[in-house]
Structure 1
Amino acid sequence: MIRLLAIMVLAVCALTSSIALAQDSSAPVKIPRGVFQAPVILDGTELFLLRGVSGMPAERRAMQVHNRLVQVATASKSNTVDIQVQQVRAGYLITADGVDIVIVTKADAELEKLDLELLAGVHADVIRDAILSYRAERTDKARLEGAIYAVGWTVAFAIFIFLGVLLRRFLNTRITRLVHKNLADVETATKAHVRADAIAALIRFGVNFGLLAILFLGAYYYLSFILLAFAETRYVALILLTYVTRPVLNIVLGFVNYLPNFVTLLIIALVTQYVIRGLRIFSEAVEAGSFEIGNFERNWVIPTFNIVRAVLIMIALVFAFPYIPGSDSAAFQGLTILVGAMLSLGSNSVMNNLISGLFVIYRRSTSIGDRIRIGEHLGDVVEIKMMETHLRSIKNELISIPNAQLLNSEVVNYSKHADSNGLLVHTTVGIGYEEPTEKVEAMLIEAAKRTDGLKKRPAPFVLWAALADYAVNYQINAYTTHGAVIPKIKSDLHRNILDVFTENGVQIMTPSYVADPSEAKVATVRWDGKLAHQYNDERVRSEA
């Protein structure tokens, strides 16, 4: 009931504004300035047009004719009107019941493109009919018919509201029941991620909004028809009907006229959708291995499909553009230019990452599953998107790298080998000058052989990295094909180096050396045969 009252209040407000605009139920429509013709209107019906003359604007002249018609029509209730047409100097004078109504001038005849005498006769007939109609519509019989007409519309509107309330209740109950019935399994399977109540509420909101709009239109037209039943309020009713009916008719006629273009757009959309669907089927077949296209990699399938799909959609838009409503208007074209300028000015970084993503995907330097290093980030490639690449670090962290950064940075790929031997794992240790080089090299090679993941063939080898101030820096190198576990391999290699050097009583000088300690800094072997890194309590202090 509250909603119905609100609708009625809105209708009354519309009526009030219309009366304020009209000011008088029989007042003629005002013509904007600069227009030298004005219509003579009586009871909302346009009778004829009048031209303005010197010293008498068209609006003022039409107002005088209107007032004289009302004067004659209200002066008598007779079913006849005495109309006289006589020639005067300015044209033809038309009188009704002895009252001068209007002088039809040569300018009026030129406006209507008719003979002056013929036009005067037409105006006389129109004036007679208008006066008789004005009187007839204000008789007791006419008012009774108007009251019956208004009561009939009121009963029809009450039935309309009653049916609308019943329909609303029925639809709300039916929608809730259907949604809960169809989504019960989904809601249970997804553990309430899909809420049937929320979906039902959303559907009910849309249905209630449509019913409310229909109810408002019904109230609007009901009020208009009630006002149309009485002569005094008919002009306001015509204004109300014009405010809504004309735009609605324009929309309907515009839609009907647009149907050929709509069919063309529908055909373009269907053809484009059909081609994209066929392309998707072919892409899925290539990705599944049913088709092989030379050196075309499977991880290229999805991005290639997305690119081709975007190109097809752009081509379809080019063909569809002339058939889009308003595409030939200056406003639509200006809006298109504005959107293009905004995209071009505000999407530099986006386009940079997008183009970089294409290079990353197609240059084959990085693939999903590869372990790579980008700057300080080390991890496995889990996804390559058009805008960014996702890495999962060895600490199980998800790292997002913009493709522009990936393209412009040095990328170390531990999964793709430069040749069949694999990757070289290397580390450097500093050993004193007093130790024989053959012994040190043998110990480093032995440590490499003990490390799982390092290849025995080709054999590990040692390089002299540098002759430092207090030690010789030896670099052990060994091949591996397990690029994804290099951190683990290096860790095992360092442990084995420490174990081998401890077993042979050789002190590692890395990372720095100041003076010889009183006892060698080596680990000792415990009774259980396991190595323990037991260090002496003595610490070597630097000399000032």
Structure 2
Amino acid sequence: MEGILAGTVALRLLLAAGLTLALILVLVALRFLFTRATQRVDDRLLHSRWALAIQDMELMSAANLRRGLCFLLGAAHMFAALFAVYLYIPFMLGLFPGTEPLALPLAQYFVTPLTQLWQALIDYLPSLVSMLVILFYAWLILKLLYVVKVALQKRYLTLPDFRPEWSEPTYKILRFLVLALTLAMVVPLLPGADSPAFKGVSLFVGAMVTLGSTTAMGNITSGIVLIYTRAFNVGDMVRVGETFGEVVERSLVATRIKTPKHEIVTIPNSSVLSSQVTNYSDRSESPAHLVHVQVSIGYDVDWRTVHQLMVAAAQDTALIDPLPEPFVLQKGMGDFSVSYEINAYTRASAQLPQIYSELMQHVLDRFAQADIEILSPAYTAIRDGNPRTTSSI
């Protein structure tokens, strides 16, 4: 009997020594593996310019990424070592009768959460499958929308009364609706979606979005209206209120206009929609834009002479088209002068400020050469015998 007990004790001591040696080997192996992994990450990213970025926005530099990965590897090494020690202790305690009652509760502290987690995963499988099916159909619909968008842009597919430039904004709107619908269907299937904490967070986020997006939603609605009413396109020369320039960007929220002075003006779409928009690049009715300058000439000057001078001034202007020919309109007969307006066509709508300036210069030059005074009623109400206000050329 004593020999059996001695043999049992010796066997348990041998098993304890084996477990201890196995623990030491596991700890050494973990240290070796994680040290090599940390050194490899450090060598790869030490002199690298690679960084975590989204397009041109850098989220994390190479140095910070290297430190972060090294920290994660160190934390994983510590967790693996503690896990190995945790497994070692119950087995070691179970080898000896005096400590065997402590082994089972200590092991259950680790096994019970894993069992509960596994059972929760099994119970969640139907919801997980439903969520994956919804995500697959959403992905399929988005791919189909993208193919239709490309086909409309390249005119492989045509729809009645649907313009190709509408394909991109229509695709973005439909993509947003699909994603929003998918999110609304997937969120109830997430684990813990019925918990009070999740409902409270959802209510808080919804209230924040509702209170903070009133202006944004107004701009988005106005942007959609502007797109489908074809008020202007990117590259058009427009005047929105007091702002004149080229449209360089048009989004659902705002419109960006580049002025002749190379200033970028960002106008909310709600302001654009409520303002008067003049499109100088619209070619639907006329191939060119009509520029005009008005002057007041006294009754003592023959109107035929005024017409000839103003047409000649328009013909002297570089960017004025010769055809259709410039023409003059008599706009009104005042108490002291007659109002004449020169009208001329140009296709260079991007240079309208320069064209107007040059046209006015030539008008002044032509009337000065003809010694004809350009009048205004306030100026000509009282004459004191002074010379005519024409400059000598």
TM-score of the two chains, using structure 1 as the length reference? 0.60
Flag the 1:261–1:522 CA change in 2: closer, same or farther, 3 A: same
Choose the corresponding residue for 1:521, options 376, 389, 393.
389
How far residue 414 of structure 1 moved from its aligned partner, in angstroms, is 0.9
Shift of the 193–306 alpha-carbon distance from structure 1 to 2, 3 Å rule, reads closer
Does structure 2 conserve the Cα–Cα contact (< 8 Å) formed by 1:444 and 1:462?
Answer: no
Give the corresponding residue for 2:30. Answer: 164
Of 414-423 and 278-287, the range deviating more from structure 2: 414-423
Matches within 5 A, 1:314-325: 314-325=180-191
Kindly tell me: are residues 497 and 383 of structure 1, through their superposed partners in 2, closer, same or farther at Cα, counting changes over 3 Å? same
| Higher mean C-alpha displacement, 391-400 vs 201-210 | 201-210
In the alignment, the residues of structure 1 paired with residue 199 and residue 171 of structure 2 have an alpha-carbon distance, to the nearest angstrom, of: 31
Alpha-carbon distance change, 491 to 143 in structure 1, aligned in 2, over 3 angstroms:
farther
What is the Cα deviation at residue 256 of structure 1? 3.3
State the partner residue of 1:462.
329
Matched residues in 2 for 1:422 and 1:153: separation? 92
Q: Which segment drifts farther, 199-208 or 483-492?
A: 199-208
Higher relative contact order (CA 8 A, sep 6+): 2
- Give the distance between the partners of 1:141 and 1:265, measured in 2 at CA: 59
Alpha-carbon distance change, 215 to 465 in structure 1, aligned in 2, over 3 angstroms? farther
Kindly report which structure 2 residues correspond to 1:469-484, keeping only aligned pairs within 5 A, or say none.
471-484=337-350
**1:250: how far off?**
2.0
Which residue of 504, 524, 529 maps to 2:370?
Answer: 504
Q: 1:234 to 1:383 in 2, by over 3 A?
A: farther
- Once the two structures are TM-superposed, the CA of residue 235 in structure 1 deviates from its matched residue by 7.0
**Cα 1:239–1:329, aligned 2, differ >3 Å: closer, same or farther?**
same
Per-residue Cα deviation, 1:310-353 (whole angstroms, up to 9, x for no partner): 22233434443453223344443444333323322221112111
CA radius of gyration, larger in = 1
What is the distance in 2 between the residues matched to 1:517 and 1:372? 46
Given the alignment of the two structures, is residue 338 of structure 1 paired with residue 204 of structure 2, yes or no? yes
Give the Cα separation in 2 of the matches to 1:495 and 1:150.
105
Q: Tell me the secondary structure at the aligned position of residue 367 of structure 2.
A: helix
CA–CA separation in structure 2 for the residues paired with 1:195 and 1:404: 39
How many Å separate the matches in 2 of 1:418 and 1:285? Answer: 25
1:231 & 1:407 partners in 2: Cα distance?
A: 86
Q: Please give the secondary structure, in 1, of the residue aligned with 2:22.
A: helix
Question: Kindly tell me: are residues 356 and 215 of structure 1, through their superposed partners in 2, closer, same or farther at Cα, counting changes over 3 Å?
Answer: farther
Residues 145-182 of structure 1 deviation map (CA, whole Å, 9 limit, x = unaligned): 88766655443333222111111122234445667999
CA shift for structure 1 position 512: 5.9
Q: Residues 399-423 of structure 1: CA distance to partner in whole angstroms, max 9, x if unpaired? A: 2221111112211111115733643
Q: CA deviation at 1:455?
A: 5.3
1:349 matched to 2:195: no
The CA deviation at 1:202 is 4.9
Aligned residue for 2:248, secondary structure, equals strand
How far apart, CA to CA, are the structure 1 residues paired with 2:71 and 2:356?
A: 64
Please, which of 271, 285, 289 is the counterpart of residue 405 of structure 1? 271
Residue 368 of structure 1 is matched in structure 2 by 234
Is the contact made by 1:449 and 1:456 (CA closer than 8 Å) also made in structure 2?
no
Deviations 1:352-398 (A, max 9, x none): 11111111111111111111111221111122112112222212222
**Within 2, Cα distance between the matches of 1:178 and 1:289?**
48
Gaps of 5+ in 1: 1-138, 185-189, 526-544
* Counterpart for residue 53 of structure 2: none
* 8 A Cα contact 1:374 1:410, kept in partner: yes
Residues 85-484 of structure 1 aligned to structure 2 (within 5 Å): 152-175=18-41, 202-222=68-88, 241-417=107-283, 419-420=285-286, 422-451=288-317, 452-454=319-321, 456-457=323-324, 459-465=326-332, 467=334, 471-484=337-350
Residue type of the partner of 1:255?
A: L
Equivalent residue for 1:48? none
Residues of 1 paired with 2:79 and 2:254: CA distance? 47
Answer whether contact 1:176 1:197 (CA < 8 A) is retained: no
Query: Structure 1 residues 251, 370: closer, same or farther in 2, change over 3 A?
Result: same
Which residue number in structure 2 is paired with residue 535 of structure 1? none
Is 1:369–1:380's contact at 8 Å kept on the other side of the alignment? yes
Unaligned runs of 5+ residues in structure 2 are 51-55
What is the rounded CA distance, in whole Å, between the counterparts of 2:262 and 2:67 in structure 1? 41
1:169 counterpart SS class: helix
Task: Give 3-state SS (helix, strand or coil) of 1:524's partner.
Answer: coil
1:367 alignment partner, SS class: coil
| Cα distance between partner residues in 1 of 2:249 and 2:156 | 23
For residues 238 and 376 of structure 1, what CA distance do their matches in structure 2 show? 82
Say whether the 8 Å CA contact 2:330–2:338 is kept in structure 1.
no
Partners of 1:430 and 1:228 lie apart in 2 by: 113
**CA RMSD, 1 decimal:** 3.9
Q: How many Å separate the matches in 1 of 2:60 and 2:83? A: 36
Determine the C-alpha separation between the residues in 1 that align with 2:218 and 2:141: 29
Distance in 2 (alpha carbons) for counterparts of 1:223 and 1:443: 108
Aligned CA distance change for structure 1 residues 476 and 236 (closer, same or farther; 3 Å): farther
Distance 2:377 2:43 in 1: 76
Q: Distance in 1 between matches of 2:159 and 2:192?
A: 45
Percent identity over the alignment is 28
Which amino acid is 1:423 matched to? H
Distance 1:238 1:367 in 2: 75
Partner Cα distance (2:212, 2:59) in 1: 36
- d(CA) in 1 for partners of 2:383, 2:27: 103
